Structure 1
């Protein structure tokens, strides 16, 4: 019986992986044996810290500075990852913009910024990695959305629309490529204990609105992604997995 980690020999690319949930996912996939490419648009020092932690534990990691909204940047990132780590087996689309803006004051540039990362970026990344996955006859695509994609949220018209579209894209990819060894799933986080853009903003008491009585830990999202990419998730595709402490029960 093999004792090798379940993702040994595989290569994972995680976008938006310098901190918070993306960081936790990168570390968890590395712990499962994958070689991990850590993408960030601008947070090089934080991304290098994640890579250093992976290497210190005996894993392999590469840092990729790229704006995934830029198709050319994604192609260059894909080529660099393939050269340094190998063909990509796992794509985790975590990068996003989460700024809250009232719809009445939102301009089209702010709308497009969110769409360009969440949807255009997903399109560019999947187009880059899919040929290699199809050639290998296997691959996992994991998208991160958020429960507001299904419930809606004030101040998040742009991100709710983008993440809802990303869920639809994920299901369509799952349907189109299931017969060719590609699985695609969404993970939808609820409220998590992460570094916030506005740390001074009040945070509601978790026990008042989350049945399990606490905020989630990013490592719980990471464990879900690890499961979906491993043998335990082998018969799961086209699904949205909600990790939200029971706040929403779909």
Structure 2
């Protein structure tokens, strides 16, 4: 969603992923309608050496620096014994967040949101804005089931039971709605936003406050 939205509006977007074949597939699928460019860099965001390597590569290609950084490393809800790994991924590199009905997962998302606010506060005079998007249920690789499309995303609009989650909107989110939110925060509309947590969730937090 982030990649498509930004590249469609002319941005040069670097994306990372642990699996080379999945990364290549994403680049091949998304670059077709992009005015900008999509470049894939294989890396594990939980591995410091990998991060240093891709930072070096991007620094060589972008000597003037980058304008936008989207941290959205995601995992589906872990079991309790896997809490440590989930917390590491989301607290350190998660600012675009997805809250689901899992205790460990939600705790890591709360940490990620608080980290966003702390960074906005501590670096308030740096001319860098820190904002967070907290989506509800959207089609993604994390929600993909059997029959997913070639992007690894499943159409959950027909099978999704909105009443189970008591979503006021009565449906899951649409990709274009998330794209518009990304573009808002990265564009002129979000230039006066700092430390913001934007809930793009169809009102799910109104009826599921524990998902915060």
Q: Structures share a fold, TM > 0.5?
A: yes
The reply to whether residue 216 of structure 1 matches residue 173 of structure 2 is yes
CA gap of 1:27–1:63, structure 2 versus 1, over 3 A, is: same
TM-score in terms of structure 1 length = 0.69
Q: Choose the corresponding residue for 1:49, options 2, 25, 35.
A: 25
Q: Secondary structure at the match of 2:204?
A: coil
Contact 2:137 2:173 in 1 (8 A): yes
Hey, what does 2:116 align to over in structure 1?
170
Question: Where do 5+ consecutive residues of structure 2 fail to align?
Answer: 147-157
Deviates more, 1:32-41 or 1:112-121: 112-121
Tell me how far 1:120 sits from its aligned partner. Answer: 3.4
TM-score in terms of structure 2 length = 0.80
Relative to its length, the structure with more strand (as a share) is: 1
The CA distance in 1 between the partners of 2:200 and 2:142, in whole Å, is: 19
CA RMSD of aligned residues (A): 2.5
Hey, what does 1:93 align to over in structure 2?
71
Hey, what does 2:83 align to over in structure 1?
111
The CA distance in 2 between the partners of 1:145 and 1:215, in whole Å, is: 16
Correspondence list, 1:162-241, <5 A: 162-196=108-142, 199=145, 204-206=160-162, 209-241=166-198
The reply to whether residue 146 of structure 1 matches residue 101 of structure 2 is no
Hey, what does 2:40 align to over in structure 1?
63
The CA distance in 2 between the partners of 1:178 and 1:186, in whole Å, is: 15
Question: Where do 5+ consecutive residues of structure 1 fail to align?
Answer: 1-23, 123-142
Contact 2:7 2:35 in 1 (8 A): no
Hey, what does 2:9 align to over in structure 1?
32
Listed one character per residue, the Cα deviations across residues 53-112 of structure 1 (whole Å, up to 9, x for unaligned) are: 3266342221111111111110111111222345222111111222342xxxx32xx122
Correspondence list, 1:4-43, <5 A: 24-42=1-19
The CA distance in 1 between the partners of 2:183 and 2:143, in whole Å, is: 27
The alignment of Structure 1 onto Structure 2 pairs a total of residues equal to 194
Tell me how far 1:228 sits from its aligned partner. Answer: 0.2
